[in-house]
Amino acid sequence: MAVMTDEEIDPLLEKLGAAQKVRLLTGASTWRTHPEPAVGLRPLTLSDGPAGVRGETWDERETSLVLPSPTALAASWDERLLTDLGALLASEARRKGVDVLLAPTLNLHRSPLGGRHFECFSEDPLLTGRTGAALIRGIQSGGVAATAKHFVANDAETDRLSVDVRMDEQTLHEVYLAPFEAAVEAGVWAVMSAYNKVDGVTMSASPLLDRPLKSGWGFEGAVVSDWGGVRTLLDTARSAQDLAMPGPVGPWEAGLLTALERGLVPAEVVDDKVRRLLRLAARAGALGSPRPAWRPAVAPAAQRALLRRAVAAGSVLLRNDGQLLPLAPSGLRSVAVIGPHATAVRIQGGGSAEVFPDAVVTPLAGIEEALDGAATVTYRPGLPPSSRPRPLSRDWSRDPRSGEPGVLVRLLDAAGAELHSEHRLSGRIVEPSVVVAGAASVEIRALVRPPVGGTWTWAVGGWGAISLSVGGREVLSGSFPLDSDDPTRVHVAPPEHCASAGLAAGEEVEVVARRSLAPHSGVATVLAAAPPAGEAASALAEAVAAARAADVAVVVVGTTEQSESEGHDRESLGLPEGQDALVRAVVRANPRTVVVVNAGGPVALPWHARVPALLLAWFPGQEAGGGLADVLFGRSEPGGRLPTTWGAAQDDVPVLDTAPGPDGRLHYEEGLHIGYRAWLRSGAAPAYWFGHGLGYTGWEYEELTAPAAVRAGEPFDVQIRVRNSGRRRGREVVQVYVARNRSTVDRPVRRLIGYAAVEAEPGESAVAVVRVSGRALAHWSPERHGWETEAGEFTLLGGRSAGELPLTATLATAGGPLPPGSGVPEETDQAGERSPLML
């Protein structure tokens, strides 16, 4: 179907009056835009992104395929895979009627404490840009808009609605804007402006939306606000912000027409916004003739296979002493699987990115399935059950009305009369499936049969008047006024209020939680419970005994739902209590121990040097266990290379702060030097460098070939010959960095300028052709406000991580300013090929 051209869109604008135009620029609802029958425009549906496609509802019954976290995807350094996964997201979006996917997140891992790092790709702008671009190409191949977010400098969560980020111009262009430029170069159809300020201006009114985004890079799509990010009228309306989401209420809906009529906002500015919205709609098939109905292009089994492959592709093997991995199933009689995360695996991070899986393969299930009875598998959690209440689930609660596993949710009027009821599968209700006029409170009611007796901890999440009764006895009652305007805290993860109640094992009790509803304080309600605190010493002793008795122990450790989530930064990089001790005890009991880390971003690994095999699984998505077992038992190589440097301890990390000062400003004082660049500058060595990751074979770096000289802004190729020195076929991610001594401008000690993956059989050589963009040698000149290259010599370094670069060459250039348009990131061959999975 041909997409409308601007020549066809412009006449449509003329058919619209001022009121019609203005109406289009604010959402019609939380996830939709307004239709405009006069021009054949249907509503656009927008949805998060990026771990899967949630769709218009926030309902655990509406399941989605769940991808590995973006950190895991970036760890694959595999653009072909990313494009395939983008196509899978597009297919999910089409299945759910979504036109605009609110992904990818292109902010950077500046401080490892950033609460939303699982959702961003990397600390490196080039890797982030190329990973994002590949995903964007895949998503948009299915006729679904991708949205590069959050433009720009939303690199942490603390005070994200108001923080005023300050950085120098060179850093802004070279580091934080660069991934967005790559997204625009990849043809992204939408960009989301961030909540925060940069240089004192809120991003929905920022001049950066015009220059560089639109007039500098030539972005033709629409700038969508972050949810609630348009908070004022005139400055945002006059800026290059195009669409204010969500709606129907907002500053533009309330005042833009009057402002336009009074000449306070120029008519051309509003026209440009509408034109861009229509262009977005045309590209996404919402303008003009309806697009063909969606048909699944790929069978569910193939989709799951792709997700499983992605788990292995993103898993990073940090160490593998004595080649403990891969494990040969034929030589194993027994495996001890240890750690709460082996059964309660975290497949994704929290916040707006969250989607609901249909089914999850846990690490334990994956290992059991892979061994298929060939070896005994013993599971021990190693830690007592968490005292942190978890939302009621189908495991031990049922709906008192239907008797079905789950809970009963009711909306009540002010007198307590039922207006609506529905059966739900979880005690965490972000929204009931309907909006009911006159509803004054939400109630969650369940019959709970406690598997163990004793003092249970209960929690009710929400705002306003809250009450809880257990077995007819009121155990909690209070008023909790709204204390935040962050949408995640208000609508997705409201605070929980705890109480305790004694229960007898196996004896069913009715539990009723209520919260009142008030304007602007959301409807999210949570009913959660935790069993009595168990005995830590005996849980640990059982795990140690199981480890000692087994041929191999696999310990899965990780972060909690609370620690890695949108809306707040992490307080610590440490693993939740007890897990470090568990790892140490298991390794002491069995020297053949594999530690698997289940976290979206860096965690402190104080014991890492004593662990023989350390595998980073990230948040692996729904196929976690299958992909993990593929790696453990050698069906797949661990394909991942670190997209972010890992320090052993929090105190070692050179850039940590995420909190603004009392003036509301957060200064990026380290400038260009984040991630491995910061470690290099400090002279300290991290535990594992950016780019590091072991496969199951070895590689010799034999030769680097590069041109001796290039012109300023000229792209070039670096060829690196590597040889597979191990015993099995493998894939190697060959990386090229650039350094320059005696630079007159600030520059990192070295920085990544290109990479390419090669595969080879044992003994075979392969040549990685690394395309390097014409921008690679350049820096941003704040004096000239443009890119230029210093004259003289640069050192190229080739190898397998930012800390292991055995090959070098010298390259000379006469330098000079870069011609406009030069230096945009090059597509690699692998990304250029059309994938069979693309729609």
Cβ 139 to ligand BGC shortest distance, Å:
14
Question: Which residue among 193, 236, 303, 352 contacts ligand BGC (CB under 6 A)?
Answer: 352
Q: Do 813 and 789 form a contact (C-beta atoms < 8 A)?
A: yes
User: Residue 419 has which token pair?
Assistant: 């207006």
Window 558-587: residues binding ligand BGC (CB under 6 A): none
Dist CA 538 CA 139 (whole Å): 49
Dist CA 98 CA 64 (whole Å): 12
Cβ 115 to ligand BGC shortest distance, Å:
11
Binding mask 456-495 for ligand BGC (x = CB under 6 A): -------------------------------xx-------
Catalytic residue of the set 48, 59, 159, 226 = 226
Window 271-290: residues binding ligand BGC (CB under 6 A): none
Q: Of 233, 235, 228, 226, whose CA–CA distance to 200 is shortest?
A: 235
* 487 vs 602 by CB, closer to ligand BGC: 487
Q: Which DSSP state fits 370?
A: H
Site size toward ligand BGC, by CB under 6 A: 8
Angle at 829 between CA 827 and CA 832, to 5 degrees: 65
Cβ 801 to ligand BGC shortest distance, Å:
31
Q: Of 615, 555, 675, whose CA–CA distance to 314 is shortest?
A: 615
227 sits near ligand BGC (criterion: CB under 6 A):
yes
User: Residue 28 has which token pair?
Assistant: 């019609």
Cβ 117 to ligand BGC shortest distance, Å:
14
Cβ 156 to ligand BGC shortest distance, Å:
12
Q: What dihedral angle (degrees, nearest 10) is formed by the CA atoms of 569, 571, 575, 581?
A: 180
Cβ 98 to ligand BGC shortest distance, Å:
12
79 sits near ligand BGC (criterion: CB under 6 A):
no
How far apart are the two ends of the chain, measured CA to CA in Å?
13
Go through the chain and tell me how many residues it has.
Answer: 839
Provide the 3-class DSSP secondary structure of residue 257. helix
Q: Of 191, 46, 74, 192, whose CA–CA distance to 132 is shortest?
A: 74
* 489 vs 673 by CB, closer to ligand BGC: 489
Dist CA 89 CA 146 (whole Å): 10
Cβ 353 to ligand BGC shortest distance, Å:
7
* 149 vs 428 by CB, closer to ligand BGC: 149
* 516 vs 565 by CB, closer to ligand BGC: 565
Question: Which residue among 102, 361, 539, 687 contacts ligand BGC (CB under 6 A)?
Answer: 102
Dist CA 620 CA 604 (whole Å): 19
What is the identity of the amino acid at 504?
A
Q: Do 338 and 381 form a contact (C-beta atoms < 8 A)?
A: yes
Provide the 3-class DSSP secondary structure of residue 378. strand
User: Residue 696 has which token pair?
Assistant: 């199951």
Dist CA 106 CA 103 (whole Å): 9
Q: Do 819 and 713 form a contact (C-beta atoms < 8 A)?
A: yes
Locate the DSSP E strands across 706-827.
709-710, 716-724, 730-739, 751-760, 765-772, 779-781, 786-789, 792-799, 807-813, 816-817
Whole-number Cα distances in Å, 236 to 165, 552, 647: 18, 60, 41
Q: What dihedral angle (degrees, nearest 10) is formed by the CA atoms of 558, 804, 639, 578?
A: -10
* 224 vs 838 by CB, closer to ligand BGC: 224
Question: Which residue among 92, 174, 226, 564 contacts ligand BGC (CB under 6 A)?
Answer: 226
Cβ 99 to ligand BGC shortest distance, Å:
14
Cβ 246 to ligand BGC shortest distance, Å:
8
* 48 vs 123 by CB, closer to ligand BGC: 48
Cβ 488 to ligand BGC shortest distance, Å:
5
Locate the DSSP E strands across 185-259.
190-193, 197-198, 201-202, 222-225
Cβ 369 to ligand BGC shortest distance, Å:
35
User: Residue 425 has which token pair?
Assistant: 């599968």
All residues at 6 or more sequence positions from 812 whose CB lies less than 8 Å from its CB, including other chains: 708, 709, 792, 793, 794
Q: Which DSSP state fits 287?
A: B
Q: Can 226 be counted among the known catalytic residues? A: yes
149 sits near ligand BGC (criterion: CB under 6 A):
yes
Query: Which residue is it, tokens 């006024």?
Result: 481
What is the identity of the amino acid at 230?
V
User: Residue 704 has which token pair?
Assistant: 């680097």
Whole-number Cα distances in Å, 402 to 406, 422, 509, 833: 10, 10, 16, 53
Provide the 3-class DSSP secondary structure of residue 678. helix
Which residue is nearest to ligand BGC, using beta carbons? 352
Q: Is the peptide bond before 360 cis (omega within 30 degrees of 0)?
A: no
* 158 vs 650 by CB, closer to ligand BGC: 158
Cβ 567 to ligand BGC shortest distance, Å:
8
Cβ 100 to ligand BGC shortest distance, Å:
10
Binding mask 36-55 for ligand BGC (x = CB under 6 A): ------------x-------
Window 664-723: residues binding ligand BGC (CB under 6 A): none
- In terms of C-beta density within 10 A (0-12 exposed, 13-18 middle, 19 or more buried), how is residue 481 classed? exposed
* 303 vs 352 by CB, closer to ligand BGC: 352
Q: Do 453 and 433 form a contact (C-beta atoms < 8 A)?
A: no
Locate the DSSP E strands across 203-325.
222-225, 316-320
* 151 vs 696 by CB, closer to ligand BGC: 151
* 429 vs 778 by CB, closer to ligand BGC: 429
Q: Do 745 and 138 form a contact (C-beta atoms < 8 A)?
A: no
Dist CA 370 CA 390 (whole Å): 30
* 58 vs 690 by CB, closer to ligand BGC: 58
* 140 vs 781 by CB, closer to ligand BGC: 140
* 180 vs 227 by CB, closer to ligand BGC: 227
Active site residues: 226
Per CB under 6 A, residues contacting ligand BGC are 48, 102, 149, 226-227, 352, 487-488
